[in-house]
Amino acid sequence: MSDLFWPGDERAGDLVTEASWLAAMARVEQAWLDALARAEIAPTSAELTGLVGPDELATVARAAEATGNPVPALVALWRERAAGPGAHWVHRGLTSQDVIDTSLVLLLRDVVNRVRQEQRDQVGSLAALAHAHRGTVIAGRTLTQHAVPTTFGLKTAGWLTGVLDAADALDRVALPGQFGGAAGTLSAAVELARLRGVADPVSAVSSAVADAASALSLRPAAPWHTTRTTFTAIGDALVAGTDAWGRLAADVATLSRPEIGELAEPAAGGRGGSSTMPQKRNPVLSVLIRRAALTAPALASTLHLAAALAGDERPDGAWHAEWSTVRDLARRAVVAASHTSELLRGLRVDVDRMRATAEAAWPGLTAERRSVAAFAGGEPCEDGYLGVADDVITAVLARAHANLAATR
């Protein structure tokens, strides 16, 4: 997949594409039909895999306009094409929102796994940088101006903390299945079980819900049609990632300016060129990462607005607004994660330039130390004026190593 409006989109591969969503919806319907058959609510199951292919996406998309979502058109095709008596039982007891919500959770699970893989790579790269440069003195900058001395190791430890916090947020997200029927009561499924002579229809349906969720490796949950914390939490965790990546990309872009020259992005053939200026080597990875960091929060805010307006037992538009928003946020987060991993793996650190800048600015960088000494009535010492920097690096590195050990 490619997108001229979002350079690098192909890095997200098949994640949250129309084809992958079609396959995920088929998996959800299959899991539910199989569960009904095992609970003896349906007489038998039927095979749905491959009955509607990616080449029919345009047809399904056009049909979706009539009902507001693609599920009714898909259900009609599955019932028409599936073999045997189980075909008639496709989608019985479910509603469109069950299929869409659960299939989106499946797609987002793949996104979470991919982003966490990238974050593990980033943690390793950042830990190595923090360790290697814990004593590399640089000029600290606040409000764009020189402030006090710090170390590049401490700066990268700060980047690392942001990535670790974002990884923790992703690890906390819940991935529940959604099986609730027309209004979250599963009344149709219970009635079908009763009409089929099942001894305890409510228990049978509850078992079928747990069975279907288990088949999809999702957490069983009570229906959550208008409680949208599943998607807002995942959206927020992805934005925590783009926040962390955007922060470090901003530093890299600044420190790679020719007049500073302390950092440089990894070199790659053709990357960073200009259409008119042959001398330029633009920090393209940082630029593209910052692009994602600038746009992701607005997408997450759309999910929160949709959650806040999710009225009745199914929202009239708020639910529909989530789908493309989830797709864009998820794919953009994956692309930004990939760009960040590449940036950190090959980041070029000019230690000599850092040292030269700090030495040239030393009187200003140590002005605070002289001010503190004058206030306290003593003489300023001649150490590096780095305070607790080394201890902070040690603590962050310990956290990073624990994170890597836990996800190995």
CA 173, CA 391: separation in Å to the nearest integer? Answer: 31
* Residue 79 structure tokens: 């019932």
Report DSSP state, residue 260.
Answer: T
Report DSSP state, residue 81.
Answer: H
Question: Among residues 274, 324, 345, 370, which one is catalytic?
Answer: 274
Q: Is the dihedral of CA 203, 209, 213, 219 positive or negative?
A: negative
Q: What are phi and psi of 347, to 5 degrees?
A: -60, 130
CA 340, CA 338: separation in Å to the nearest integer? Answer: 5
Question: Among residues 109, 314, 355, 369, which one is catalytic?
Answer: 314
CB 233 within 8 A of CB 198: no
Tracing tokens 């259409």 back to the chain, one arrives at 275
CB 213 within 8 A of CB 177: yes
274 is catalytic: yes
Residue whose C-alpha is closest to residue 28's, from 212, 286, 155, 181: 212
CA 71, CA 97: separation in Å to the nearest integer? Answer: 9
Q: What are phi and psi of 138, to 5 degrees?
A: -135, 165
341 is catalytic: no
Residue whose C-alpha is closest to residue 81's, from 29, 36, 21: 29
Amino acid present at 329 = L
The residues that are catalytic are: 274, 314
